[in-house]
Amino acid sequence: MSNEDTFSRKLMTAAAMLLFKSHRKPGVKGWELKHRLGKNYMKIIDALNSYLKRIGLEVKTVFEEGEDLDKARFYVTFAHPLTLSDLVTAGWSIDEVAVLAVTLSILASRGGKAPAKEVLEILQTKLPRWRAEAHLERAIRRGYIEKTEEDMLVIGWRTKVEIDQKELLKSLLEMKPEEAAEEDSKE
């Protein structure tokens, strides 16, 4: 078998490992890629990434324990953020997106965790309790938020992979309250 055939086979193996869920949690650990693809697995991941970028996808690496690639988790995600209409088409309601954005901003502002009770109290200022709880539970099931045994909410694996948290906070900080926006539009 030629080197080119071997590389193509490894590229297909990497794609299968990353695209098809084989664990409870999506993605593949670096050590798994190294075991199946060899010690130069990052060259294969880089080549796969260039193929995926042609169709709007990319391989993201999330470091869970330090900066060790073997302990990092690799995922395939969209290369560009989805628009609000894309999210609605995918089955998200505006309320769900808002609950997730508010919850993530609370968690980010408090070092990545906050008591569930406090988050619900804040959400209840805009939504009925039952709706806030339902949207929060859905975000937990989807992996964007995790709930600890101590009833604390923490940032979930999916947020780390799919959401640019710095960009989310920047967008929230740049938002103007409704009254200020109305005054600006009158001027």
Per-residue pLDDT tens for 75-131?
898 888 778 788 878 888 889 988 998 999 899 888 889 999 999 999 999 999 999
Domain ranges of the chain: 3-78, 84-176
Instruction: State the pLDDT at residue 127.
Output: 92
Instruction: State the pLDDT at residue 5.
Output: 80
**CA distance linking residue 55 with residue 10, whole number of Å:** 20
The CATH fold assigned to 84-176 is Arc Repressor Mutant, subunit A (1.10.10)
For residue 30, count other CB atoms closer than 10 A to its CB.
19
Q: In what order do the strands lie in the sheet with 113-115?
A: 113-115, 152-155, 145-147
Burial class (CB in 10 A: 0-12, 13-18, 19+), 113: middle
pTM, two decimal places: 0.72
**7: pLDDT confidence band, cut at 50, 70 and 90?**
confident
Instruction: State the pLDDT at residue 186.
Output: 56
CATH, range 3-78: 3.90.1150
* Contact of 13 with 36, CB cutoff 8 Å: yes
Q: What are phi and psi of 113, to 5 degrees?
A: -150, 155
Between 93 and 26, name the one with better pLDDT: 93
Whether the pLDDT of residue 181 is over 60: the answer is no
Give 46-61 pLDDT, tens digit per residue.
999 999 999 999 999 9
* Contact of 158 with 144, CB cutoff 8 Å: yes
Give 141-176 pLDDT, tens digit per residue.
988 999 999 999 999 988 888 888 787 777 777 876
Instruction: State the pLDDT at residue 187.
Output: 53
Tell me how far CA of residue 74 lies from CA of 70, 71, 158, 160, in angstroms: 10, 10, 12, 11
CATH fold match for the domains 3-78 and 84-176: no
Q: Which residue has the tokens 């937990």?
A: 140
